[in-house]
Structure 1
Amino acid sequence: MANVTVIGTQWGDEGKGKIVDWLASRADVVVRFQGGHNAGHTLVVDGKVYKLSLLPSGVVSGKTGVIGNGVVVDPTALLAEIERVGQQGLNVTPENLWVADTVPLILPLHGALDRAREAARGEHQIGTTGRGIGPAYEDKVGRRAIRLCDLREPETLEWKVDELLRHHNPLLASLGQKTFTREEVLSHLNEVAPKVLPYACHAWDRLDAVARQGRRILFEGAQAVMLDVDHGTYPFVTSSNTVAAQAGTGSGMGPRSTGFVLGIAKAYVTRVGAGPFPTELSDETGRRLGERGHEFGTVTGRPRRCGWFDAVLARRAVRVGGVNGLALTKLDVLDGFDEVAICTGYELDGKRIDAFPSAPGAQARVKPILEFMPGWKENTAGARSWAELPAQAIKYVRRIEELTGAPVTLLSTSPERDDTILMHDPFEG
């Protein structure tokens, strides 16, 4: 049986949490391989709502969850999330949550710098969540990160904190912000160390054993391809690679581990924060999509910008993300629209182009070329078989397949776990 890697193909918030939760019932282990607690996955199971940020969605299904080395971890946020889901009846312990001991840690100074720099950008803000993810990844690449394993060595921790402060305090001071003392940082780390270290392990080694036993591994991506630091709408992106190729690197399992790559896409498009959005609807239709889809960020609570499905960006995500099949979510949100639309290309400076430009100025100037199709009056909400879908909805799905070059292998028709239509089982490869 194949492993499965789930990634977003738009700007995040495509409903990955539900799909991963649904697939997790047939997996043995679920792995997060990038991002931090800027990701938000909302799961609805038997009417109960779970909001996860760092924990792999598989914990709701009682599966072993893994936070891989490609993730940046705020230990305070992780402990708070474990406590919160515990109050909902989910018991997360070192037996069912493995955290790579090489994960870089997000500290309070990272969040402070993140927020200060975003404020200093003024009208050029990129829409960061302000939770310190970017500065933590910078420290990782700059070889000054404090990693989870460092909490075991007080003598290592002291000189690494000194090095960290030599970098961060001048930046904070230049932005008019409070600086941090060695004692403050060490006190914070010494407080969280005994609580988080029990979860630390050689995750790569345990995952290798799982693979050798022939057990199924589900890799869970955060954010989405168009937020990838290399392939997304730079600089309005996240600070990590979100494509499926990162699953091997961010877990320590290597490039052959990804298996079937399932790309998640909404039947329309949303975006949180700043950045180009060619199909954005700032009218009554956009408002209607937002209200019907309950489009508010899981992490930030900010209203999501809404627009028509962009097949050009989705096709790009399919190619650079290595997507084998699409999972189309929130088709039911389009129920009752007189017509629906798909972006099939762009107009830039009076000329048609069929690929999204790389430079931010050109990205801001593109206009969508829309193909309109008749909508459908019938309800798709709760449909669990292809035969239950109205003809026009099926035509819409087929057109998305044609334009993106990827088959729709799974269709979600409500937030509930079982309201799902499966055309092809990703675990069958």
Structure 2
Amino acid sequence: MNTVVVGLQWGDEGKGKVVTYLSRNYDCVVRYSGGSNAGHTVDYGQFKLVHHLVPSADLRLRKGMYIATGVAVDLNVLSQEIEQLEQFFPGSGEALQVSKQAHVVIPFYRELDGKIDAARSEPVGTTRRGIGLCYANRALRFGVRLEDFEDEVLLERKLAELVRVWNLDIDANSILKQMLEIYHSLSHHLIDNVEAFERLKGKDLLFEATQGVLLDVDAGTYPYVTSTNCSSSGVQAGFGFPIKLDKVIGVTKAYTTRVGEGPFPTELKNEMGEKIRRLGDEYGATTGRPRRCGWLDFVLLRYAVKVSGCDELILTKADVLNGLERLAVCVAYNVDGVKVRDVKNLRNIHKAEPVYEEIEGWKDLNSPSFEKFLRRIEQETGVRISHVSTGSKVEDIVVL
């Protein structure tokens, strides 16, 4: 069986924990998009690990892990991450393979990323990890791939070309030396796309998305999006081969959060928003930035379910709302005086005024009012909820 786990909001839905939990039923976890701008936190109980590039497989079970061609690889981040994983799970790195055809984030991409965003009339709030520059140079055919490191003369020429194209005053040779050193320490993890595909053929694969559908470069709140197709539509291109998906699992919080700039109709710029942020520890795993918080938005959730082809839902962070007497959900928008229940695109959601419905809160996740909340989500989306996360740890999840 081939399954993909996607976020149905603006990322930070808890996909890392979900993928780790589900990975026990699969042979290999595959990252197919994004880069070190992702921050998938996995709480093993005694410690937490944040996965930026390494797939969020349960490291206790020694499952296969594959970073596919669609991922933007920062060699320094990957090296540090493998080192960290080995400290907690010695030998776990042996299960990791990385596509030689994946593009590499060159160190100076980070600075350029920040300069470009600062030069915009309206910054999009990039994480400044150089991911957008990596994908832009790929599209411009100036990109550097991991396979290029096998030919140092070619690599030196490509770096010099990048420095010239971007008119940079830097020493390309020092960057080359630094990157080659890290590359050689990681080279035993590298594999050609075709060989990886042949090894994985016939195995049960769990594809791990990054960010969320609302940040997808095509389906999301453009231009306030990431640089890749992080919805289910990006699996085949990111994997590098045609692959039939048997199931699309969407992950959503019981409320909504967003990091960075862009429209957010249900954002709570008040004490309740601050309370949810505090209770949910809503700070970015990659940037540390406080997340903007708001009520659950059924309009956007229905949109995300539709464009991702979602087959089932997993609800996270409902426990954060335990003890709140009254909650609200957004059931529709008022846009230019017109009430809208569903949207065909996200072009005008910056004009959207949320239409709220107050609902009863719950004491805990065994409360009848929480059961009613679950049924309401299923009714609004037309998709069943298969699991509910009951806490931060990997095992804190129940099957419905």
TM-score after normalising by structure 2: 0.96
Shift of 1:109: 1.4
Q: Is the 8 A contact 1:104 1:146 kept in 2?
A: yes
Does the CA contact (< 8 Å) of 2:55 and 2:66 recur in 1? yes
Partner of 1:121: 120
Query: 1:100-122: CA deviations, max 9, x gaps?
Result: 00000001111010011222236
| 2:340 partner letter | I
Q: Does 1:241 align with 2:229?
A: yes
Secondary structure of 1:69's match? Answer: coil
1: distance between equivalents of 2:321 and 2:199?
44
Q: Deviations over 1:96-145 (max 9, x none)?
A: 110000000001111010011222236x1111110100000001111111
Give the AA of the match of 2:106: L
Matched, 1:342 2:301: no
1:167 equivalenced with 2:165 (yes/no)? yes
Contact persistence 1:59–1:65 (CA under 8 A): no
2:184 aligns with: 194
Letter paired with 1:405:
G
What CA distance in whole angstroms lies between the structure 1 residues aligned with 2:196 and 2:350?
45
Q: Distance in 2 between matches of 1:59 and 1:376?
A: 32
| Preserved contact between residue 35 and residue 222 of structure 1 (Cα < 8 Å) | yes
Asked if the contact 1:357/1:363 (under 8 Å) is kept, the reply is: no
Structure 1 segments unaligned to the other structure (5+ residues): 173-178, 381-388, 424-429
Question: Contact 2:297/2:331 (CA < 8 Å) preserved in 1?
Answer: yes
How far apart, in 2, do the equivalents of 1:90 and 1:401 lie? 42
Q: Deviations over 1:371-407 (max 9, x none)?
A: 2111122x22xxxxxxxx2111011111111111211
Counterpart for residue 10 of structure 2: 11
Cα distance in 2 between the residues matched to 1:225 and 1:359: 12
1:205: which partner in 2? 195
- Residues 232-262 of structure 1 deviation map (CA, whole Å, 9 limit, x = unaligned): 0011100000111211221123141x22110
2:268 pairs with 1:303:
no
**Matches of 1:18 and 1:308, distance apart in 2:** 22
Q: Is the 8 A contact 1:66 1:203 kept in 2?
A: no
Asked if the contact 2:104/2:146 (under 8 Å) is kept, the reply is yes
- Per-residue displacement from partner, 1:155-204 (whole Å, max 9, x unpaired)? 221222232222222xx5xxxxxx32332332233222211222110244
Aligned residues of 1:43 and 1:49 also touching (Cα < 8 A): yes
Q: How far 1:365 sits from its partner (Å)?
A: 1.9
1:226 matched to which residue of 2? 214
> Superposed, which structure 2 residues align to 1:77-88 within 5 Å?
77-88=77-88
> Structure 2 CA distance, aligned partners of 1:64 and 1:365?
45
The match for 1:383 is none
Alignment match, 2:205: 217
Is 1:375 aligned with 2:361? yes
**Deviations for 1:23-79, whole angstroms, at most 9, x for unmatched residues?**
011211000000000000111113321111111010524211100000000001100
* Pairing partner for 1:397 from 367, 371, 374: 374
8 Å Cα contact 2:302/2:342 also seen in 1? no
Residue pair 2:327, 2:361 contacting (<8 A) in 1 also: yes
Aligned 8 A contact 2:220 2:346 in 1 = no
CA contact (8 A) 2:16 2:42 kept: yes
Taking every aligned residue pair, what percent have the same amino acid on both sides? 39
Matched, 1:327 2:314: yes
* Aligned-residue offset at 1:349: 1.6
Which sections of structure 2, spanning at least 5 residues, go unmatched?
none
- 2:128 aligned partner: 130
Indicate the SS of the match to 2:285: coil
TM-score, normalised to structure 1, is 0.89
Letter in 2 for 1:375: G
In structure 2, do the counterparts of structure 1 residues 218 and 204 end up closer, same or farther at CA, with 3 Å as the change threshold? farther
Distance (Å, rounded) in 2 between the aligned partners of 1:420 and 1:190: 42
On the 8 A contact 1:249/1:255 being kept in 2, the answer is no
The equivalent of 2:76 in structure 1 is 76
The AA in structure 2 aligned to 1:334 is: L
Question: Aligned partners of 1:209 and 1:196: how far apart in 2?
Answer: 20
What is the aligned partner in structure 2 of residue 110 from structure 1?
Answer: 109
The answer on whether the counterparts of 1:47 and 1:416 sit within 8 Å (CA) in structure 2 is no
RMSD across aligned positions (CA): 1.6
After superposing the two structures, state which structure 1 stretch, 200-209 or 48-57, moved more.
200-209
Between the aligned partners of 1:323 and 1:199, the Cα distance in structure 2 is 33
